[in-house]
Amino acid sequence: MLIMPPSRPFKRARTWSAFERVFGPITRDDGSLLWDTADICWPVDDPRHFWTVVEGDSGGLYLIAGLHLVNRLGYLCCEHGWGGAWSAHPSYRYD
């Protein structure tokens, strides 16, 4: 299932609990949530199921839709993918 971006833009990052409810992050076999490009057996092949964990200017960690390379700390793989343009989705706090 693809989750479309909200109809109204958000000025601030949404909460981690909202992200969990909507997208359903998948944990790795070791119990962590972060995936890396070196992980050979990703549970999902569709790139729309991935979010990138990045560090913001204030030092906080945020999730942005898609696979990005700049400021990347790792990736989250989710049960539900994001639809539409990645830039139309709000960022989420990674607590």
pLDDT surpasses 70 at 41 = no
Averaged pLDDT, 9-28: 93
What confidence score (pLDDT) does residue 2 get? 84
16, containing H or E segment: helix 16-23
Burial class (CB in 10 A: 0-12, 13-18, 19+), 58: exposed
Q: What is the DSSP string of 53-64?
A: EEE-TTS-EEEE
* Residues of the chain above pLDDT 90, percent: 61
pLDDT of 75 reads 94
Mean pLDDT of 85-92: 94
Count CB neighbours of 75 within 10 A: 23
Strand, coil or helix: what is 74? strand
33 alpha-carbon distance from chain centroid: 10
Tokens at 2, concatenated: 């693809």
User: Mean pLDDT over all residues of the chain?
Assistant: 90
Residue 54: pLDDT band (50, 70, 90) is very high
Most confident of 1-5, 49-53, 55-59: 49-53
